[in-house]
Structure 1
Amino acid sequence: MALVTAETRPLVLNTNQPGNVHWNTLYEISDIVPVSGIYRCEGCGHEITSNHPDRFPPQNKHQHPNNSKVLWRLVVMTQTKG
């Protein structure tokens, strides 16, 4: 779960993007990261930060003990510049 503290105030979160396809898409290992942000693994709940246009971690970097499929879901979109 993404965490924040009182020291990060004012916290600006924009939740007005219901039509954005990135929220409802599951991404696989080595897919290109469509938007920078925090992604949660659907199988185990582990979170990662990933930047566009990098790739999601390969299988040898994130594995499940039962070898179930690793699928990433966007939970926080960030506006990274670099």
Structure 2
Amino acid sequence: MAYVTQVTRRYITETNSPEHAHWNTLYEIGDTVPVSGIYRCQGCGDEITSNAGQPFPPQNRHQHADSSVAVLWQLIVRTKTS
């Protein structure tokens, strides 16, 4: 879970456009990151930060103890980077 404080919450803006595919798509290992942000693994809840255009972490960087649990990343916070 991403955390903010009362001071830093002013930098978080809720969007009214959840229909964009990058919010609803689950990304696999090696897929290209569509937008920069914080992504959450649906299998274990770990979070990563990733930059647009880069690949999601390879299997040897993020593994589950139970290999039957898929590593699927979902965007939870989009970041504005240049």
How high is the TM-score relative to the length of structure 1? 0.91
Asked whether the equivalents of residues 29 and 72 of structure 2 are also in contact (C-alpha less than 8 Å), the reply is: yes
How many residue pairs align between the two structures? 81
- State the identity as a percent: 62
What is the alpha-carbon distance in structure 2 between the residues aligned to residue 72 and residue 38 of structure 1?
A: 9
Deviation at 1:42, TM superposition (A): 0.3
Partner of residue 44, structure 1: 44
What is the alpha-carbon distance in structure 2 between the residues aligned to residue 61 and residue 74 of structure 1?
A: 18
How high is the TM-score relative to the length of structure 2? 0.91
Shift >6 Å, 4+ stretches: none
Partner of residue 13, structure 2: 13
- In structure 1, stretches of 5+ residues that fail to align are none
Secondary structure in 1 matching 2:11 = coil
What is the alpha-carbon distance in structure 2 between the residues aligned to residue 51 and residue 9 of structure 1?
A: 22
What is the alpha-carbon distance in structure 1 between the residues aligned to residue 25 and residue 9 of structure 2?
A: 30
What is the alpha-carbon distance in structure 1 between the residues aligned to residue 9 and residue 28 of structure 2?
A: 34
Residue 75 of structure 2 aligns to which amino acid in structure 1?
A: L
Calculate the aligned-residue CA RMSD, in Å.
Answer: 1.1
